[in-house]
Structure 1
Amino acid sequence: AAPQSLSNAVWSVARLHEALGEWQGAQGAAGTAQRSADHQHASAWALQVLQQLHAAVPSANPSTQDLSNALTAVAKLGCTLDAATLAAHVRLTLAAAARSEPSAEGALHLAATLLALSSLKQPQQQAAEGGGDEWSAGDLLKEPVDDQPEEDPKAPGTASADAVNAALASYRMQLMQELRRHSVDASPKTLAHFWLGLAKLGLKPDAETAGALVLASHRHMHDMTPDALAALAVSVARLGVPVRPRWIDRLQAAAYESASQGTMLLRARCMLLWAGAKAGWELHREFVAGMLPGPRLMS
């Protein structure tokens, strides 16, 4: 089958499984048992399709869109990928991105790949946050605890986490290069997703890549939604990327403008304040006052 057909097939099954799971969840214990069995079948099938997608190379090179859609679908299904399969997928995705000219669409698929990798690395965390919120960043607000118990090697998701770490270690340089190339044409939303994906993966960009992403996000801040601004701020702070005072000032101005228009929810306000405290940014008094929730937001 053509790469696009294989990718669409995995995506369709993932969406169908998601909808079916919601219905089965309302059926009690019997529905839960059936959902578990269906999940095993769907996951096994998805992995087979992913391998067929890889086998299509080089006779029919999959596009970045085909590869990112397939990985996103596999992440939605909660599949556990072995290191070899995931490394091959990351390699093919970056190779497809490198073959294409930088574009907004290419940047979008690169961001989708980052977010899919973060979902594969932290499947339990994603489930705890609801999974359906594209700006879900609750895990980024949690400080690491030194005395946390070690992960059980047999626990669901651990194998995929190891595979993600191995793939990122192998192809880190290529990933950073593509992030730099596509940052120029990335939309405001995609730029925020770049940062969020890196932060969720715990992958601090090198100085050159960080500089390109900081410059691009500085240029597009006033076009970002409140949630995108909050995710941007938290991600930059969590990764410990240094930014200049004028970047911080522009972030505050964009967020203050959004809050003044009444379009910023309490969660985004709290995330912005947390980011400033975490990074030690010098925030303006007017900005802090503007972010503090009023009676309407607290109700």
Structure 2
Amino acid sequence: MNIRSFGVIGAGQMGGGIAQVAAAAGGLNIILVDVSQEMLDKGKKVIAGNLEKMVAKGKMAADEKEAVLNRIVTTTDMNRLAEADFVVEAATEREDLKFQIFRNIDAICRPEIILASNTSSIPIGRIAAQTKRPDKIIGMHFMNPVPVMKLVEIIRGIATSDETYNTTKTLTESFQKTPVEANDFPGFILNRILIPMINEAIFTLYHGVGSVEGIDAAMKLGANQPMGPLELADLIGLDTILAIMETLFAGFKDSKYRPCPLLRKYVEAGWLGRKTGKGFYQY
């Protein structure tokens, strides 16, 4: 690989985490792009806070923290991605938004550059169809929180080349992550299993089978899960849970993927979990 400059689109929880890992473990120079300077400043502040915790725990030297931060350049100008040797999109999980982003970066980035999406559910083949380089489009699904979680799902579209896959796999390993190949079906591996489980936990609450605390306690103590499904839903974001369920339902046309009405009601009320201060729990 000859990847030195790494573009990340989206400075939120996922994009910021990817930028941090690529700059720290991967040693790459990062071009972090978002629509507003406010989002960029907030994202870089979170990264700085994460690195400071690593310094406090003795996992990173103070001078290395500064070096990592200096490798991350923020900008609202997407045209800066013309300098990137690899680009990952980590925008909101909306199909129309991702399609537009890929049409834009396909025109901006050099034709040999791989363009990856951190989508958690949207088929890669559909994203690739928005570009003139379908062989260089791939899914690179990081887990939340990115600096902590080891798994990265790598999803090949029908046109994704072996070279694109192998480069992405090697890059993932350089981030000290474990790549797992997934075929291009809605939800891929993890979210096809995890998100319907969370949706079923919400149905369990909706039907009055148990309380929020009871459902989470049952799954933690009975299934040995480190977090209860409703607590995890709040961490992921209820809007993201709903978007993934809708993608699964649209993709499979199977009623078992129907989003719970209570989930939709919470999202419509703006109760999205930790990021809004209220979800199934109060924060």
After TM superposition, the score normalised by the length of structure 2 is 0.29
Q: Pick the structure with greater CA Rg.
A: 1
After TM superposition, the score normalised by the length of structure 1 is 0.28
Please state which structure has a larger fraction of its residues in strand: 2
Q: Which has the higher contact order (CA 8 A, sep 6+)?
A: 1
Please state which structure has a larger fraction of its residues in helix: 1
